[in-house]
Every structure is written in C-alpha cells, then in structure tokens.
A and B are shown apart, each in its own frame.
Chain A
C-alpha cells in the first residue's frame, strides 16, 4: 500500500490568499520529496522538490517545508491564483541499495474561488 497520504481530499481558497497543502509520510528512510500539480487532461507537472537534509526550500510563489520529526511535508502557495486550481500530489523517494522508487500520495484538489 501507499506510505504517503494527504490529510484532506479537497481544499478551497479565496483568490489572493495563501494555500497550504499538507502531506504525511510514514517511511523515515525517505530521502527525497517532490510536489506535483496535475491539471485536467494533463500529466503531473513538477512544482518543487526537497532533499531530506533540508527543512525548507523556496521557489517562485511556492515553498516546501519538511518536518522529519513528525514525517510531515507541506506545500505553501503564496497569493493563490485561479491557475493554481488543480490536483496536487506529494511523492516520496525511498532508496534501497541501488534501487529507488517514487511513491505518490492520493492527491488533493485545490479549488480557487474568484
């Protein structure tokens, strides 16, 4: 089964507000995390990533926070825009010897109200 899960299936925010999407993971050996955005009819699109030796990473309007103590990952979107409406997935990478695999959470729908 999946080791990555999301706290809520849907999130509705007002345009211009900040959004926070949370993700819990269960494998303390996960060494790399990625957030993806998927719009209708398209494949997942890379947003931002973070390695396990970091706590925070910032991109353009997005920030990913990693709390290894409680195995929690969050994606913060500043000044949410209608174009941010999509399904968001967190993914964790677990390395085992020479192999590694990216496992995805179920996804959360972000809906932006005008």
Chain B
C-alpha cells in the first residue's frame, strides 16, 4: 500500500507570491491533516479535512487555506507569502477524524523557502 505522497518536495518562492501544495493520502484514508514544521515552533496544526469539509482549524491567518477533493486528495494554498512562511509543510492522513481513527501517517513533506 502506497504511503502519503506530497508534491512538490521542494519549493522556492519570493515574498508576495502564492503557492499550492498537494497531498495524496493512503488509499482508504478519508481524513487529511496539514501541519507546519519549523525549528522554533515544532509541529503546528493548520487544518484537517474529512469528506471534503474542513473539520478543524489551527491558529493560522486566512492566507492559509485548503481543500479536499472527492477522492480524498487535498491541497493547501498559501497566498501573499511572507518570509516567516518558510517551513516544512507536512500532510498526514488517517482513516477518520475520531479518536479511534486518529493514528496519523505522514508524508515526507514539502520544504518551502520564501526569499
């Protein structure tokens, strides 16, 4: 069974641009969560999608958005990039959003650098 796939692996953007990251979950997993990882802040929860609906959202500005498609694949978008958005963006999938299905499986992440 293939794992969580994230594309692209690396991205370099400049301030003010926007970026879209893609995530394909493990087959059969319907929940997709996104995390931002930086050396200083660790893993910060961005949002979670289940059945094409955002179920939960972290404390990030509205520049960060996401969506989920009917095949459970998900994308996240960051508009008007800032230098502080440079981070590793991790996608994780799970069977569902409830406690018994909360075991997350992570992709390798997209390393975003904003210049």
Contact = CB atoms under 8 A, between A and B. Distances in A.
Interface of A: 2, 31-32, 34, 36, 41-46, 49, 51, 89, 93, 95, 98-107
B36 to A, nearest CB: 11
Contact of A99 (B33, B56, B92, B103): B56
Given A42-B108, A44-B90, A2 B42 contact: yes
Interface residues of B, number: 22
16 contacts: A32-B99, A34-B102, A42-B108, A43-B92, A43-B109, A46-B104, A46-B105, A95-B98, A99-B55, A99-B56, A100-B99, A101-B56, A102-B33, A103-B45, A104-B35, A105-B42
A44 B76 CA distance: 19
The dominant DSSP class at the A interface is strand
B43 to A, nearest CB: 4
Contacts of B4: 43
Interface in B10-69: 33, 35, 42-43, 45, 48, 55-56
Interface of B: 4, 33, 35, 42-43, 45, 48, 55-56, 90, 92, 97-99, 102-109
Contacts of A32: 99, 102
A89 B104 CA distance: 13
A100 B42 contact: no
B106 A49 contact: no
Given A99-B97, A100-B98, A41 B108 contact: yes
A101 B99 contact: no
